[in-house]
A and B are shown apart, each in its own frame.
Chain A
Amino acid sequence: MLAYVLRKLAYMPLILMGVILITFLLFFVVTSPEALARMRVGSKASQQQVCEWMATNGYITWTEEGRAKRAAPPEKTPDAADTEQGKVFEEGKDFTRTSNLTLFGRYLSDLARFDYGLDRRDRKVTAVLYEGMWASLALTVPAFFIAEILGVFFGLIAAMYRQTRIDHALVLSAILIMSVNSIALYMFGQKFLAAEWNYFPVTGFGEGLNAARYLILPILLYVFISYGEQLRFNRIVMLDETNQDYVRTARAKGLDENTVLFKHVLRNTLIPLITRWVVAIPSLYLGALVLESFFGIPGLGYLTVDAIANSDVNIVRATVVLGSITFMLANLLSDVLYAVADPRVKLS
């Protein structure tokens, strides 16, 4: 197993490099340095100021001609010369662009030094991610575990009482909940449970334990909305197992239902469940975008979307890299857990 883990770990930098390259290309093809400069110096800034920003940030280099032109006073045009144009800086003549290879090298060198730079609000990206991550985890970890425990439990019940009223009731409730748009449910929950009936705060977040009161409603809604999908998934997984010969044998041996369910069936359903749980880990720290936005939870859910919309290259780079690393580690963890959960699985 150790050899397998080491081999997987050795692949990681290569995969990561691929991800970084794709992100770099996608981002810089879509967003030019001029656009980045405009986002920083404002749409009202002159072309000269845009170029100055690009030069100080290493995207361009002034030529001698460009240097002379930028330092020269603006031409005072007499009224007769109405075809005047403002100072225009031309690529090739006044400045040269830094090659994409150089930019990529710089990009990699920053990453190697764990220097993610500053975000568009001049905050350290690492600090932004660190602060937001805890709020996201405060929401997603309890919500995820409650939803999973309930899902496994009801899935088990539905499977055990297959084709009975209990099973029908559970499946029907799952379909009903899945049929409703989750945003509509968030809005309903917020409007009635919080605003109309005042059982919960409408939005907000607090420090330490005070945060709990703000988290209960979003967690309840998350669990409620996840219920349908969880139940259907777990029911099918459990059904698959309860039809196996070993379950019949166990029952024939006179084992009670409790032992059959919790010792034999549940253990054998662990592989699909582990896959699901472990793959969910990266999304836990990245938060729940809509819930966070609706309930004012200062997590990371909104951050990535906001960063893409505002061309915040450093945040995008950091979340992509962290997301890839976490996802690869989660995959590795799931492989290891397969071997732990099922002795038949050999990692080689």
Chain B
Amino acid sequence: MAGLRGVVALLTLAVLGVLVSALTGCGGTAASIAAEDEGMVVLRRSEGEDPKTIDPHKAGDTGSSRHCSMCYESLLEYDFLERPAKLVPCTAREMPTYDTATLTYTFKLRDDVYFQDDRCFHPDAAGKTFAEEGERKLGTSGKGRKLTAHDYVWSFKRLSAIPDAEGFWLFEHKIAGIDEYHVKAMDLFSEDPDAWRKHLNEGKVEGIWAPDDHTFCVRFTEPYPQFLYAIAMSYGVAMAREAVEYYGAEIARKPVGTGPFVLKRWRFNMELVWERSPSYRDQRFPSSDNPDHARFKPFMGKRLPLADKVHFRIIKESQPEFLEFLQGNIDISGIDKDQFSTAITPQNELTPLLRDKGIQLRTWEDPYMSYIALNMDDNEVGTPAGDRGLAIRRALCLCIDREDLIRRYLNGRGVAARHVIPSTTFGYTEESGMTWQRYDPAEGRRQLEAAGFKVESIGRDLYRTTNPATGKQVNVTVLIRRNDQQSADYAVFLKSCGDKVGIRIESERMTFAEWLKRSNDRVGQAFDSGWIMDYPDAQNNLQLLYGPNAAQGLNYSGYNSEAYNRMYRELAPLDESDPAQRARKGDLVHQMHAELDKDLPWVMLNWNKTYSLYHSWYTHPDPNPFAYSYTKFVYADTPKRGELATSWASMPVLPGLLLSLLFLVPAGLMASRVIRQAR
């Protein structure tokens, strides 16, 4: 009997112990964060997942690009204050000169840019690798050397020489000699690694050279004004050859650049910690008298980066991320659809819960568009179907209630799309909006009837459109690139839209990998697609419908219009900085939209709208979705965060007590009964 009593007593003690330790030993993290941040300016952020890589040549996603820009620098970057987005020199001393006769850009580099101190620059590390030396040697840093134009030459060559570089498409066929260099590198990569290394280090690309340490030149095979935007992306940064050779594949996690922050710690699935680079050059916060920039006045002229440390936590789920934000442990947050009603009222304002904490809301239109690419080679919806195919495409465009889609599935975080380019891009005019990209199912039915289809009502808001040639209902299958609950809801939405014009819209949901294969091979009638603009030039989006790009995997609909192709070829090399060319570009964008409105290869859906929440201690930059290098300009009043977050982290006794009693009272009663009965 003593044994049973002992076990009961032990279990009761264990439960009590857990509850007591829970109530006293744990608590929230606000106080420990405040203590950790004392005396420093610390930005606290979250990411939904780890960056795929911090190797800038392989960084194709926004998360990876954001982290690459903490450490690596391009020749140019986006101005922090000016909108619309404008490029300014970064490691370049001034904006480049362009020789129209030779199609050559010449950049002059700053003289005060150094790579971060790192083991790879230590004399003892010469000829050795990280794999040989291991982590223990990382504490013995070498002095970072000065950045030269040869680093850019080498980095551009590396982008062309590694098989899994994500950004090579930006330079392919454009820089003189780069294709030949690339093909040879690919041959050597698997056949002869030593020869590949020699090719990378000593091989020449005809169109990339450095006449001296401070001058970098790039010559093109055709005018390529988008090049300046392209190099402001992570693909255009300078990497140190010593670092890549020392770290090997580990360079993806051990970046060594010239940028404002040094990666201090990356614990996978948990956190990334960046700290101010001690060797960062004397760059100052830009000055401006513009009243719109008044909130940045306290920082103007201050040395960059403003923050001493940037702490990213990896939080996969939206609820914990939002709760951490509400607790003040994270400075900024997006709003997931599950948290939307907690944060935003139906009047599109902040809820009192957030307002009382001083949280602020900022919204802006993202350059991300969603659309359905219709396969123009398909016998039912494409060009081979002639007028009937066109009528189906028109009906599909007219049956989608975009406002409803945005309301239901995006919590209002979107704008109905009628253009292929976002409203912030040059060339956008209200008038160029495509007329068929609107919600008018009655007109859709009329179009189908006019093309010879039989449209009959089969219920309230339900129609059936029959193809007289086959006697069957018109059917369109959309390939959806996700396979989750949200995509199932979306499939139901598409079907309900199709019902309004009598077209049966079926959906095939699949993994992104499978979707990519099907859409690249154009095996399917319609592909649910999306595109995030890489740089603020209309060409970036208009290329998605350029005929030859069907083979390149960008033009999923396989649209190949003579008129459109001709206009695209004229538009692509136009330089917006030249007034005459700019005017012509505006005309062409308008005419290309008119051409698309005639053929309708896409059903436009929406542009995304970002809702960003941030705390009162955080100085939010004006939005620029193309810029990743703004972290150095951002400031957080860390003592204020500590004070407020700690004050919000009170630990009420009553709920804990009640909860404990809820478990302990029945457990105690039961235990006493057991002991009594056992006696």
Contact = CB atoms under 8 A, between A and B. Distances in A.
B649 A198 contact: yes
Contact of B165 (A41, A198, A256): A41
A311 interface: yes
Contacts of A336: none
A42 B27 contact: no
B565 A123 contact: no
Given A123-B253, A194-B323, A293-B317, A153 B11 contact: yes
Contact of A44 (B7, B164, B169): B169
B244 interface: no
Interface in B621-679: 649-652, 655-656, 659, 666, 670, 673-674, 677-678
B513 interface: yes
A128 B268 CA distance: 9
Contact of B560 (A58, A83, A216, A258): A83
B380 interface: no
A47 B551 contact: yes
A267 B267 CA distance: 44
B548 A84 contact: yes
A247 interface: no
A53 interface: yes
Given A121-B50, A205-B270, A46 B253 contact: no
A198 B651 contact: yes
B562 A82 contact: yes
A296 B315 contact: yes
Given A41-B166, A169-B670, A198-B650, A204 B550 contact: no
A56 B540 CA distance: 29
A258 B674 CA distance: 12
A85 B316 CA distance: 42
Given A30-B514, A42-B166, A86-B550, A199 B651 contact: yes
A40 to B, nearest CB: 4
A77 B95 CA distance: 32
B319 A262 contact: no
Interface in A159-210: 161, 165-166, 169-170, 173, 187, 190-205
Interface in A248-307: 256-258, 261-262, 293-296, 298-299, 302, 306
B166 A197 contact: no
Interface string A16-51: 000000000000001110111011111111111110
Contact of A121 (B28, B53, B167, B677): B53
B295 interface: no
Given A42-B169, A53-B164, A82-B562, A199 B569 contact: no
B652 to A, nearest CB: 6
B134 to A, nearest CB: 13
Nearest to B544: A44
Interface string A207-248: 000000100110010000000000000000000000000000
Contacts of A57: 163, 190
Contacts of A36: 513
Nearest to B50: A121
Given A56-B163, A169-B666, A87 B4 contact: no
Interface residues of A, number: 92
Contacts of B173: 73-74
Nearest to A153: B11
A140 B550 CA distance: 50
A223 to B, nearest CB: 9
Contacts of A213: 25-26
Nearest to B565: A82
Chain B interface mostly helix, strand, loop or mixed? helix
A341 interface: no
B323 A202 contact: yes
A49 B268 contact: no
Contact of B316 (A40, A71, A74, A302): A302
Given A35-B513, A121-B252, A166-B673, A70 B183 contact: yes
B183 A71 contact: yes
B319 A161 contact: no
A197 B314 contact: no
Given A34-B517, A197-B655, A200-B26, A118 B249 contact: yes
Interface stretch (B15-23, B81-89, B381-389, B608-616): B15-23
Contacts of B539: none
Given A87-B551, A194-B28, A122 B670 contact: no
B300 to A, nearest CB: 36
A108 interface: no
A155 to B, nearest CB: 13
Nearest to B563: A82
A257 B29 contact: no
A49 B172 contact: yes
B553 A47 contact: yes
Nearest to B21: A216
Interface stretch (B111-119, B255-263, B324-332): B324-332
A201 B1 contact: no
B674 A199 contact: no
Interface string B303-347: 000000000011111011001101101000000000000000000
Contact of A202 (B23, B190, B327): B327
A86 B569 contact: no
A52 interface: yes
B552 A86 contact: yes
A131 interface: yes
A56 B314 contact: no
Contact of A83 (B189, B314, B562): B562
A46 B164 contact: no
Contacts of B656: 197, 199
A12 B396 CA distance: 56
A302 B7 CA distance: 37
A141 interface: no
A162 to B, nearest CB: 13
Nearest to B166: A42
B314 A220 contact: no
B513 A31 contact: yes
Given A79-B569, A153-B7, A302 B269 contact: yes
A55 interface: yes
Contact of A32 (B3, B329, B517): B517
Interface string B42-77: 000000011011010010100000000000000000
The CB with the most chain B CB atoms within 10 A, among A34, A44, A132, A192, is that of: A44
B511 A30 contact: yes
A9 interface: no
A14 to B, nearest CB: 31
B252 A46 contact: no
B555 to A, nearest CB: 9
Contact of A296 (B28, B253, B270, B655): B270
B22 A261 contact: no
B651 A55 contact: no
Contacts of A299: 269
A295 B253 CA distance: 24
A43 B677 CA distance: 71
B565 A84 contact: yes
Contacts of B53: 121-122
9 contacts: A38-B516, A41-B166, A42-B60, A71-B179, A82-B562, A131-B268, A157-B670, A202-B320, A258-B3
Interface of B: 1-4, 7, 11, 18, 21-23, 25-30, 49-50, 52-53, 55, 58, 60, 163-169, 172-173, 179-180, 182-183, 186, 189-190, 249, 252-253, 267-270, 313-317, 319-320, 323-324, 326-327, 329, 511-514, 516-517, 520-521, 534, 547-554, 560, 562, 565-566, 569, 649-652, 655-656, 659, 666, 670, 673-674, 677-678
Interface of A: 30-32, 34-36, 38-50, 52-53, 55-58, 70-71, 73-74, 79, 82-88, 118, 120-123, 128, 131-132, 135, 150, 153, 157, 161, 165-166, 169-170, 173, 187, 190-205, 213, 216-217, 220, 256-258, 261-262, 293-296, 298-299, 302, 306, 309-311
Given A84-B547, A85-B547, A216-B21, 4 more contacts: A45-B553, A47-B520, A83-B547, A311-B513
